Chain A
Amino acid sequence: MAKASPSAETALEINLKDPRLAAFLAWLVPGLGHIYQGRTGKGILFFTCIVGTFFYGLYIGDGRVVYASTADVFSRQFLERWQYLCQVGVGLPALPALVQRERMRSNKQPLRLPVIGDKFMRPPYKQPPPDMPGGFESPDQTDRQRRVHHPDELAQWNYERGEYFEIGTVFTVIAGLLNILAIFDAYGGPLVIPPEEQKPRDDKSAGKTSEAK
């Protein structure tokens, strides 16, 4: 068994099997590519850290922080929700947002989940739908008797969740970016840092040493 030291690690040979398939599996489900390669420990580590971070962010953001813009993919408006490009790095867990996006684009009702309702990974409405006759409004956070009107649903979500909307977005974005590192690890193996070697003496110091001798 190889010792857990950098010098022993450099001598480790890892069978990456089919690196492209491993990279695809690593994107689809974080850690799955590593498990396919037989690197189970790292696979579980990646899965726990990345999926845990992603779903914790989704929980903080009330299931609303992961969504894709309804604009055309190659249009500039699509980049208004650029965060999704990072979030989709996490693979399958972020893909329901694309389903919700397509349903919204084709004027279908968004998918509903038992607890969260239709807000799960659904893009925010810009115009109030027919079942929201009062428009986008929520109770005033300082005076619950009053109602606050919002220009669109995104403004309403930001108002209702406050900073947690941003924190949830940051968590999910970072989870997606971390999985990109994991994908590269599945494709090419770890970037093992070689042990520090003693720097060779330069001629001047060597000369001085020899002179001192």
Chain B
Amino acid sequence: MMLESFELNLAAWPLLIATLGALRLWYAVPLVTSVSLVCAATRHEEMGPIVIHAARFAVWIVVFMAIVVAVIQLLTWLQ
């Protein structure tokens, strides 16, 4: 019984870590939103262009973050 629960715990660890990682990633959403909106608002005066610029800038940030993650992951595999 003890062994089974131990194995269950071992099996649950990666899932738990993945879930926690995914949860932590959600903290990027408000940050990316506010950063892109504020940066866009310093480039335009009207709300329409601000929102369009913010959306494009948010995508750019996410792509940049994804590239950085990919590079770090690649370096981890190469270690």
Residues of chain A whose beta carbon lies under 8 Å from any beta carbon of chain B = 2, 4-6, 8-9, 12, 14, 39, 41-42, 45-46, 49-50, 52-53, 56, 60, 163, 167, 170-171, 174-175, 178, 181-182, 184-185, 189-193
Q: How far is the CB of B52 from chain A (nearest CB, A)?
A: 8
Q: Enumerate chain B residues within 8 angstroms of A190, measured Cβ to Cβ.
A: 41-45
- Once A42-B41, A174-B35, A178-B34 are accepted as A-B contacts, the answer to whether A2 and B46 lie under 8 Å apart by CB is yes
In the assembled complex, which residues on chain B have CB atoms less than 8 Å from the CB atom of A52? Answer: 30, 34
Complex contact A9–B34 (CB within 8 A): no
Q: Are B42 and A39 in contact (CB under 8 A)?
A: no
Majority secondary structure, A binding face: helix
Q: Do residues A163 and B24 form an inter-chain contact, with CB atoms below 8 A?
A: yes
**Contacts across chains A and B counted by CB atoms under 8 Å:** 76
Q: Given A45-B50, A181-B38, answer yes or no on A174-B31 (Cβ-Cβ < 8 Å).
A: yes
Chain B residues positioned under 8 Å from A60 (CB to CB)? 27
Residues of B within 8 A of A171 (CB): 27, 31
Q: List 23 A-B contacts (CB under 8 A).
A: A4-B46, A4-B47, A6-B44, A6-B49, A12-B46, A14-B45, A45-B38, A46-B38, A46-B41, A49-B33, A49-B37, A49-B38, A52-B30, A53-B34, A171-B27, A171-B31, A181-B42, A182-B38, A182-B42, A184-B42, A190-B43, A190-B45, A193-B43
Is B48 interfacial (CB-CB < 8 Å)?
Answer: yes
Interface: B68 (CB within 8 A): no
Interface range for B: 20 to 34
Interface pairs A-B: 9 shortest CB-CB: A4-B48, A49-B34, A4-B46, A178-B38, A185-B42, A53-B34, A181-B42, A49-B38, A49-B37
Find residues 15-63 in chain B having any chain A CB closer than 8 Å to their own CB: 24, 27, 30-31, 33-35, 37-39, 41-50
Q: A50-B34, A53-B31, A56-B30 are in contact. Are A45 and B41 (CB under 8 A)?
A: yes
Contacts of B33 in A (CB 8 A): 49
Contact call B49/A9, Cβ cutoff below 8 A: yes
Nearest neighbor of A51 in chain B, beta-carbon distance: B34
CB–CB B46/A9 < 8 A: yes
Q: Which of B27, B30, B45 contacts A9 (CB 8 A)?
A: B45
B49:A4 contact, CB within 8 angstroms: yes
Q: In the complex, what residue of chain B is closest to A6 when comparing beta carbons?
A: B49
Which residues from chain A contact B48 at a C-beta distance below 8 Å? 4
Alpha-carbon separation in the docked complex, A6 to B45 (Å): 10
- Which single residue of chain B is at the shortest CB-CB distance from A185? B42
Contacts of B35 in A (CB 8 A): 174, 178
CA distance A121 to B45 in the complex (A): 35
- Chain A residues, CB < 8 A from B45: 9, 12, 14, 39, 42, 189-190, 192
Q: In the complex, A52 Cα to B38 Cα: how many Å?
A: 12
